[in-house]
Amino acid sequence: MKRLIILALACALVPAAAAQLYKYVDKDGKTVYSDQPPLNTESKQIVVQPGPAKAGPRSYVQEDKELTKSRDAAKEKAKKAEQAERDAKEAEARCAQAQSNYQVYVDGGRITKYVNGERIFLGDDEIAAERERSKRELDEACKK
């Protein structure tokens, strides 16, 4: 019995879904749209396709998800900015240290190093080699 009622209801609604629409201009020059063809007037039949249902207002759950997503994106952006700032400070410190090390070899004088607890003075060849090594480190640390 329920199936019969549902079938009858579906059959009753089908013509409404496939309704015809007519467009014509009346005697006053106004464009009229109607579901009935006019008498004694030339009309044009318009086929209306049912469009997709419009999305209604967003639910609170959807808004909450979007808000959470935007907060997470803002936190991630702040974290990346903080990390970039930290990296920049570390690079600046490395550059300053490399400049200081290089300046020691440029100034010259008596430079020492410790080997097995004993202080040994570097010769001119060793100082020149250390100056070159220090210059490469400086260039690497301070490149921009």
Cα–Cα distance between 77 and 83 in angstroms, integer? 10
pLDDT for 62-115, tens place per residue?
A: 889 999 999 999 999 999 999 999 999 999 999 999 999 999 888 878 888 898
Annotate 6-27 with b (16+ C-beta within 10 A) or e (fewer): eeeeeeeeeeeeeeeebeeeee
pLDDT for 118-136, tens place per residue?
A: 998 888 898 889 999 999 9
Fill in the amino acid letter for 142.
C
Q: Whole-model pTM?
A: 0.48
pLDDT for 10-63, tens place per residue?
A: 666 555 555 677 788 888 888 887 787 777 777 777 776 666 666 667 788 888
- DSSP per-residue string spanning 72-98: HHHHHHHHHHHHHHHHHHHHHHHHHHH
